[in-house]
Amino acid sequence: MSSNEELGMGSYVGIVIGLMIIVVIEVVLTYQHLPVRTLLFSLLCLACLEAFVGIMYLMHVKYESRLLFWTIFPATLFVLVMLNYLWPDAYRMARMSLGK
């Protein structure tokens, strides 16, 4: 059974404000003229952090059974990891258009 007794509404307000702060950090980072790869990596890390916080608290998974966590995360992450096999051909396409 789900229950929200673990956290009060005030805590949720705090969590959402925390997420908004992360968004602001992302925007600030964007305008720091970082190399593209660094910016991408940082934004992805922050986005993953937001998603994790959102899933655990907003979607309540922290207070659900551990089995739910270990079902949804591995399944989704597995697909996300496997899709990364696309990158070698994406970079080849880039090199090919440069005539290499």
Residues at the interface with another protein (CB under 8 A): 1-4, 9, 12-13, 16, 19-20, 23-24, 26-27, 29-31, 36, 39-40, 43-44, 46-47, 50-51, 54-55, 58-59, 64-65, 67-68, 71-72, 75-76, 78-80, 82-94, 97-98
The least CB distance from residue 62 to another protein, in Å, is 13
The least CB distance from residue 43 to another protein, in Å, is 4
What are the respective helix, strand and coil percentages of the chain, to the nearest 5?
Answer: 80, 0, 20
**Helix orientation angle between 36-53 and 9-30, rounded to the nearest 10 degrees:** 170
